[in-house]
Each structure stands twice: as C-alpha cells, then as structure tokens.
Amino acid sequence: MRFRKIHGAGNDFVLLTDLGPADKREWPKEAERLCARRTGIGADGLVISSRVSDEPTVLEVDCFNADGSVATMCGNALRCAAWAAQCDQGFRTMQLRMAGVLHEATVDTDSVWVTAEVGAIQPRVLQTIINGRPTWFDSAHTGTEHVVAVVDDVDAIHAEVVGRVVRHHKNVAPIGTNVNFVQRLGRQALKIRTYERGVEAETLSCGSGAVAAVVVATMRGLVAKREVTVHNRAGEPLTVRPHHDRPERAAWVGGPVTQTFEGVFA
C-alpha cells in the first residue's frame, strides 16, 4: 500500500488515495500508529481520499487526527486531497465530501483552494488568564469548533499550555474545541497560532482555524470583509476570502501544498 507524506502550509498528513475493497482497516488505530512522530511516519493526521463520482468529480475524504479521532472538517487535509487528485487524474476543479458536507475545490498553479462552511459565531464564550491578563475568546464554527482570542503578540503566548487549558474549558464541554490566538498585522493581514484538538498540540497551520480567525477579526472590525492573508508558524501564509455566491455562509481558504515524499507500508 503506497502513501504520500504531504503538507498544506505546514499542516502535515499521511495521504492514501483510491484504496481497494481489500484495504479496509481499523483506521483510527492506524492513524495513531502512522502519525506517531517517533515510531511512525509522523503527521498531524491520516487522510483517505477516494473518487466516488466522475461527472461531476466528487471525492470522499476521511480525516483521522493523530489521536485517532475523526475530523469533521480539515481545510488543509481537503487541500492536500485536491492537490493529489490534480496530480494523479488532472482534475482542476472538484467537490470534496468530508463528514457528509460537500466542499468546492480549485487547484491553481501555486495554490489549492477549498471552501469552508461558516456557522454560528458567539462572542465572549470563555475567559482565561494569559500572561497575567484576562483574555476573552469568541467562538466560530467553520465546519468544526474553534475559539479565537485577539491578542497583542501571539509570539508571547505559550500556545500549548494555554491551548490545552482552553481546549478542555467547561464552557466548551463535552467535546472541547480548537484554540486560536490571533494578532492583527496590517489592514488585511493577521498572524495566528493554533492548538488543535485531536492532535493535542500546536500545529504549524490550520485551514479551518484561519477561516475562524478571519470571521472573528471581521466581526471585531480588525479587517474588512474581503481577502485576508493569515500568517502561520510554518511561514507559508494562507489566504481567506468570502465565497462570491454565499459570502455570509462560506469562505475560500487557499495556499500552498507540498509533497515531501512517497513510500510503501511495511
């Protein structure tokens, strides 16, 4: 069984495509084994992509986090799956279905774009102390649960320590949340750090988190409702822009995808 090691702006995955009927496994357990940084391939998640329709082109994409849990939305996993479909079959536009939700995808020369659904936004869902200062988090649902705190300097925050506390906060029980710290950099630019539920660590990039950051920053008046550049820990920014047909309900998130190597399972 061949695999790709691939990352979307630093958010890395083990990617399997078009598996046969004989390739059924206990994928949550496989995700834990394969994603282990020291004893496995090492990744934030395991992604399985299968083509289920040709006209229109539709891919079924399953994403398992490093702890074996199922991701209901992962923008970078969708972008990686779209990149692989373009590489293998030549598709430039397609639909991707993850956890029952259809997403649009477009592959350009230097960027891969997918759509994220934008749901409920709740200001001031929870508060915690960061570096001695009370800090509020707003929540934004972008296919999965996110909370966002606007701070003066994201680099001054111990993202893993604070993220772990907020991820398990009683106000987001029982399933918890992804945690984002966002700093305004300019008129249409943000800087982000994200602690991801399921990975249980800070990741270098998060597609749905970038969308959540832009949604909250727009609500707070930090950016205008147009294209925003979101700088991440990987140094490979994502771009978020409103969906032309559904600007209040969906957004596009785009950026680079890189394949680092291919291999065969032992």
Q: Which residues are catalytic?
A: 74, 206
Residues 188, 230: Cα–Cα separation, whole Å? 9
H-run or E-run covering 242: strand 238-242
Structure tokens at 23: 């390739």
Q: How far apart are CA 241 and CA 229, in angstroms?
A: 9
3-state DSSP assignment of residue 52: strand
- Contact residues for 189 (Cβ-Cβ < 8 A; gap 6+): 223, 228, 229, 230, 231
Q: Which amino acid is at 222?
A: L
Checking DSSP bridges between strand 11-17 and strand 133-141, what pairing results, if any?
Answer: unpaired
The H or E element that residue 238 is part of is strand 238-242
Positive or negative, the Cα torsion across 193, 231, 243, 78? negative
Exposure b/e, 55-71, CB count within 10 A at least 16 = b: eebbbebbbbbbebbeb
Q: CA 63 to CA 15: how far, in whole Å?
A: 9
Whether the bond into 56 is cis, omega within 30 of 0: yes
